Amino acid sequence: MINNYFEIDNIGNLKETNKEFNKKPKIKKDLFSQYLNINVGYTLVTPILIGVIIGLVLDNRFHTKPYFTVFFIFFGMISSIYNLFKMIK
């Protein structure tokens, strides 16, 4: 349905125009892109958190305070970057 709008020209005559007034632009919500953004967040954070948990457990078990935690944090960061590149391709 086309709404007809009118405007007044310089002389004072009423003429029809096809401008639409007071309409907000519609924002298209693409669910796939939203899920992809959420997935990127989980892909980056999850391996690092798993590395921290594994490192803390191994450090408490073998009484080597920071070594396993630091190693598995770096391993988780490398894994996150690898997963991100794999997701992009």
Tell me if residue 61 falls in helix, strand or coil.
helix
Note the pLDDT tens digit of each residue in 24-46: 665 666 777 777 788 889 999 99
With a threshold of 0.95, does the pTM exceed it? no
Q: Contact at 8 Å (CB) between 31 and 25? A: no
> How much of the chain is helix, strand and coil, in % rounded to 5?
60, 10, 30
pLDDT, one tens digit per residue, over 41-63 is 999 999 999 999 999 999 999 99
